[in-house]
Amino acid sequence: MLRRHFFGRLLPCGLVLLLLFAAGIFLAVRLPVALAPIAAGERLLSLCAALFILARAPAESKTYRLFLLLIPWLGAILCFFLRSPPPLPPRPCAPFKDGLMDACASLSAAGGLFPAPFSGAEYLATGGEMFGRLIDDLKSAKEEILLCYYILARGRFFDTVLQILEEKAKNGVKIKLVYDDFGCAGLPKNFAKILRARGIPAAVSAPLRPFSPFRFNLRDHRKLAVIDRKIAYTGGVNLADEYIGEKIRFGHWKDTAVRLTGEGCAEFARLFGEEIRQNVIRIDNSLPCVPFADGLGGGRTGEAVLLKLFSSAERTLEICTPYLVPSGRLMFALSTAARAGVKVRLMLPHIPDKKSVFLLSRHYARELCAAGVKVKEYTAGFLHAKSVTADRKYAYIGSYNLDRRSLFTQAECGVLLRSVPFASDAVRDFDEMWKAGTPLREEKPHEKLLRILLLPFAPWI
C-alpha cells in the first residue's frame, strides 16, 4: 500500500519534469528560428536609425550612438525624435561694407532679426554697473518695457524692478515680462498669475511638462530688456542678487552686459511677438551692430555667427565662457585660428557651479591647449560672462554659452559689434581678469574616469 502510494505521487512529478524537459528542448531548438524575424527587424530598424543619424544629426552627437548600442529597439525609436535643428536658409544682406559684419547680417536675417541703425553701445563690466543703468532707464520709460530673463529671484534687484513695473503699469506703460519655468523654479508656480493681479502682464516661457522629457532641455535662456524700443540690454546678467554682488555665491560673480541705443533696439521686440513695421536694412553711418537670436528648440544662428567671428580673426581672440562643451565645428575653428598664428586666449571659471559641466569644460580646454590656445581660469569667484573680442575691433556679447545646449536647443540672443572703443573696453576688462587668472592644471586620474563616463552625455549636460 505504501509502495503504491509512493509511486502514485512520484509518477505525476516525473511526468511534469519530463514535460518541462521536453518544452526546454523544444524552445532551445525552435525559439531561435521563431525569433529570427524579430531579430532581423531589430537589426533593420537599427540600420535605418543609423543611416538617419548619419544623414541629419551632427557627427559629434555621441548620445545617439549610445542609444543604439545600449538599447537598440528603444534607442532606435528615440533617435527619430531627437532631431538636429534645420539649416539656416540663405538670405543675402550686405549693409555694412565689411565682410564679417555683412556675412553675420545675412545669418541674422535668415534667423529673423534684421540689421538696423544703432547709435551707441556701452560695455558694462559687472552686474552692478548694469543694475544702476537699467533701473534708471526703466524709471524713464514712457511707452513700453519688454523683459525676458532666464532667472528671476526675489531680492534687491528683482524687487526694485517689480516696484518700477507696477508704477509704470499704473501710468499706462505697456509691459511684457517673460521668464523661463525651469530657471525660475524657486518662484511660486502661480507667480505669473500673481504678477498679473498686480497689473504686470507676465508669461511663463517653456513650461515644464512631466510627461515630455524631450522638452526638458528646451529652455528660454535669454537675458533681454527693451525699453521704448530705443534702449536694449543683453548679456549674461539675470535679475537676481548674486549678479550684482548682493548675494555671495561661489565668490565674486563676474558677468558682463551691453547697453544699446538707437532704432535697432526695436528689432529685439520681434522676440516678444511684437510687430515691426518693416525689415530695416538702412544703416547709413550708424554703429555697425548685428542683433541675432535663436528660438526655442534651438537653431544655428548663434553658432554660425561665432564660427564666422572665430574664423575671421587675424591677430587676436579673447573669449569668456562659463561652460565649454562646444560642437566639433567650433573646436575646429578655434584650433585652426590658433595654429594659423592668431593669439587665442580663453577664460573659464575656476570655481564651478555645475561640476559635471566644469569637468567637461576642462577636458575641451586641454584639447584646445594642445592646438596652441592659451587658457586661464578666473580665481576670484564664478565667471558667468559670455563675450568674445576679435582683433580689438569686433565684439560679441549675449546669452550664448559655448555649449551644445545654448547653441542647439535653447532660446538665446546676442549682438555682434564693430566698434574699436567698445572692443577696447572689453579687452581691457579681459586683461585684468587674465593677469589674476590661474593656469589650467593637469587632469587627475579620477577626473579622467568621470570624464569618460560623462562625454557620451555631453549634449544633455
d(CA 144, CA 175): 6
Buried b / exposed e over 388-412, threshold 16 CB at 10 Å, is bbbbebbbbbbbbbbbbbbbbbbbb
CB < 8 Å & 24+ apart, contacts of 37-42: 42/72, 42/73
Residue type, 304: A
Residue 23: the pLDDT is 73
Nearest CA to 322 out of 249, 390, 371 is that of: 249
Domains observed in the chain: 38-84 (no CATH), 99-460 (3.30.870.10)
d(CA 25, CA 376): 66
All residues at 6 or more sequence positions from 285 whose CB lies less than 8 Å from its CB, including other chains: none
d(CA 393, CA 391): 5
> Cα-flanking dihedrals φ and ψ of residue 446, to 5°?
-70, -30
d(CA 97, CA 278): 22
Cβ–Cβ < 8 Å for 442, 370: no
d(CA 331, CA 337): 10
d(CA 327, CA 305): 14
Q: Is 99 exposed, middle or buried (0-12, 13-18, 19+ CB in 10 A)?
A: exposed
Cβ–Cβ < 8 Å for 221, 151: no
Grid cell in block for residue 417: 559689434
Q: Is 272 exposed, middle or buried (0-12, 13-18, 19+ CB in 10 A)?
A: middle
Q: Is 10 exposed, middle or buried (0-12, 13-18, 19+ CB in 10 A)?
A: exposed
Neighbouring C-beta atoms of residue 21, cutoff 10 Å: 10
Per-residue pLDDT of the chain (461 residues), as tens digits, is: 444 544 455 556 667 667 776 776 766 666 666 666 776 776 677 666 655 554 454 545 555 555 555 555 555 555 555 555 556 566 677 788 899 999 999 999 888 888 888 999 999 999 999 999 999 999 999 999 999 999 999 999 999 999 999 999 999 999 999 999 999 988 999 999 999 999 999 999 988 876 565 567 789 999 999 999 999 999 999 999 999 999 888 888 999 999 999 999 999 999 998 888 766 666 777 899 999 999 887 678 999 999 999 999 999 999 999 999 998 899 999 999 999 999 999 999 999 888 889 999 999 999 999 999 999 999 999 999 999 999 999 999 999 999 988 988 899 999 999 999 999 999 999 999 999 999 998 888 888 888 877 777 776 66
